[in-house]
Amino acid sequence: MKTVACYCRVSTEEQVKYGFSIQAQKDALTKYCKENNYKYDFYIDEGISASSMKKRKALQEMLEKSVAYDMILFTKLDRLSRNVLDANNINKILQDNNCTMKAIDEDDVDTSTADGMFMFNLKVSLAQREIGKTSERIKFVFKNKREKGEVTSGTTKYGYKIKDKKFVVDPEEAENIRNLYKYFISVNGDHKKTYSYFVKHFPGKGQDALFNYLRETAYIGKYKLYRKNVYIDNYIPAIMNQELFNNVQNLLPRVEKVFTKENVPTIFAGMLYCYYCKSRLVRKIDYRSKNKNVNYYCDKQYRYKVGINEKQCQNSKVISDKSVEEYLINNLKDLCKQYISKSIIKTKPKPQKNNIKINSLKNKLSKLKDLYLDDLINKEDYKQDYIRINKEILKLEEEQKEEPQKDFTYLNELINKDIPDIYNTFNIEEKRKFWLKIIDKIYIKEGKIKEVTFL
């Protein structure tokens, strides 16, 4: 049986303008999966446009877990992406994980075949052209403004103010920057000392800002265009000479080594969730430790609720990749058993109770109809009561719809196997795949595993 992930997306604008809904996509995909006898999960981004891939949390989550699926399904390609680069990135991630994708309403888009792959590329390019028209206009406006030396974006740079739409030097901030550069040279690029200097003189700024400032070419009058390696002159005034800047650049690589984010392989990234606020835990890698320890934490514990002096989440402890692994290995059998028995209890008792209610409501409806037909109530009253009761019935029937009974064969197999022995021969990537194939979410409370749900 194939395991597939169904992806749905609708933007707020589409909802309002065209009445597109998530439910319509869900229904179509569910029907398709049932017809083909697929095991399926849903990933849903509601109220989010296709242009911002980063904001689409469900999409990100699905991609991270794609190794556990044979195929990604969506109704139309524009639900997944309208941007060539994103679409190709998505496709690459899926290919790496042996996962294909298919648009069920555009049956020529199916990356498991050569023809379908061709159509995928063609349609993505066409979709991008639609968006391209608007962004080209925006680019044109930007270009014109820049030629006149006008600032094109609303954000300013540290060291500058914007006056009459142009960058001008902010004398105080510029002095602060020059002193930072000089200090950095005076301590020979010592990171620790520089950072404590930075914290003192640039309140509220973090380490990313420090490195951005130390690398900022605008300070020698070269404005870098977005993330491209294109610089424009005569757009932003220099605040230091080339020599000071170069001396800092020469010291930078050595320090950076400690801090550049190398790709530290982790097993559970994307699978851990906060028990309290249900948001996904954030990964933090301790680059200074020899073993590059990986910890996870709920970053809502650092955020405050709007208008109140109260944290968004109370989950304050971290948990390491290693301790999650140890706990799971030692408790896997029990966790599986617990999960299975919990799921079975959850799915059973409701329907019968609802059936009785539904039947009595249906009885009421037919009595109501009799009353109306016998002219004992008027049409308006009949209509009102009919709508009210019918709504109740629909609601109960919706509740009654059983969640598809999970298939526990694989989990039962796991319970009977001896995991640790096989597991210890795996490398980190294989370990990650192993867990991704069986685990849905791991809930963490105060640095401890509280609950595990399986796929």
Which residue's CB is nearer to Zn ion, number 79 or number 300? 300
Shortest distance in whole angstroms from residue 274 CB to Zn ion: 3
- The verdict on 296 binding Zn ion (CB under 5 A) reads no
Counting residues that bind Zn ion (by CB under 5 A) gives 7
- The verdict on 272 binding Zn ion (CB under 5 A) reads no
Give just the sign of the alpha carbon dihedral 436, 437, 443, 444.
Answer: negative
Tokens 């930078």, located at residue: 252
Tokens 């409806």, located at residue: 365
Q: What are the residues facing 44 on neighbouring strands? A: 8
Q: What are the residues facing 453 on neighbouring strands? A: 441
Candidate residues 236, 313, 324, 396; the one interacting with Zn ion per rule CB under 5 A: 313
Contacts of 172-176 with C-beta under 8 Å, sequence gap 24+, read 174/239, 176/201, 176/202
Shortest distance in whole angstroms from residue 446 CB to Zn ion: 11
Segment interacting with Zn ion (CB under 5 A) among 128-136, 252-260, 291-299, 351-359: 291-299
- The verdict on 303 binding Zn ion (CB under 5 A) reads no
Which residue's CB is nearer to Zn ion, number 123 or number 280? 280
Contact status, residue 270 vs residue 64, Cβ threshold 8 Å: yes
Shortest distance in whole angstroms from residue 265 CB to Zn ion: 25
Segment interacting with Zn ion (CB under 5 A) among 209-217, 309-317, 342-350, 381-389: 309-317
- Looking at residues 236 to 265 of the shown chain, list those that interact with Zn ion (rule: CB under 5 A): none
Which residue's CB is nearer to Zn ion, number 72 or number 442? 442
The pair of three-digit structure tokens given for residue 159, joined into one six-digit string: 């060291």
Give the contacts of 356 (CB within 8 A, at least 6 positions apart). none
- The verdict on 300 binding Zn ion (CB under 5 A) reads yes
**83 three-state secondary structure:** coil
- The verdict on 298 binding Zn ion (CB under 5 A) reads yes
84-96 and 57-64 helices cross at what angle (nearest 10)? 30
Contact status, residue 132 vs residue 117, Cβ threshold 8 Å: no
- The verdict on 63 binding Zn ion (CB under 5 A) reads no
Nearest to 223 by CA among 171, 166, 177: 166
Segment interacting with Zn ion (CB under 5 A) among 6-14, 42-50, 296-304, 331-339: 296-304
Tokens 């197999």, located at residue: 413
Which residue's CB is nearer to Zn ion, number 263 or number 309? 309
The pair of three-digit structure tokens given for residue 201, joined into one six-digit string: 């003189």
Shortest distance in whole angstroms from residue 200 CB to Zn ion: 31
Other CB atoms within 10 A of residue 413 CB: 10
In 148-217, which ranges are continuous DSSP H helix? 171-186, 191-201, 207-215
Shortest distance in whole angstroms from residue 271 CB to Zn ion: 15
CA distances from 327 to 147, 275, 420, 422 (A): 60, 17, 12, 17
Segment interacting with Zn ion (CB under 5 A) among 74-82, 89-97, 300-308, 367-375: 300-308
Segment interacting with Zn ion (CB under 5 A) among 63-71, 257-265, 307-315, 358-366: 307-315
The pair of three-digit structure tokens given for residue 198, joined into one six-digit string: 């930075």
Which residue's CB is nearer to Zn ion, number 140 or number 302? 302
- The verdict on 276 binding Zn ion (CB under 5 A) reads yes
- The verdict on 127 binding Zn ion (CB under 5 A) reads no
323 an active-site residue? no
Find the angle CA(80)-CA(81)-CA(86) to the nearest 5 degrees.
120
Q: How far apart are CA 344 and CA 348, in angstroms?
A: 7
Candidate residues 66, 75, 100, 315; the one interacting with Zn ion per rule CB under 5 A: 315
**441 CA to centre of own chain:** 14
Shortest distance in whole angstroms from residue 320 CB to Zn ion: 17
Catalytic residue among 11, 21, 51, 279: 11
- The verdict on 277 binding Zn ion (CB under 5 A) reads yes
Shortest distance in whole angstroms from residue 272 CB to Zn ion: 11
Interface with Zn ion (CB under 5 A): 274, 276-277, 298, 300, 313, 315
Active site residues: 11
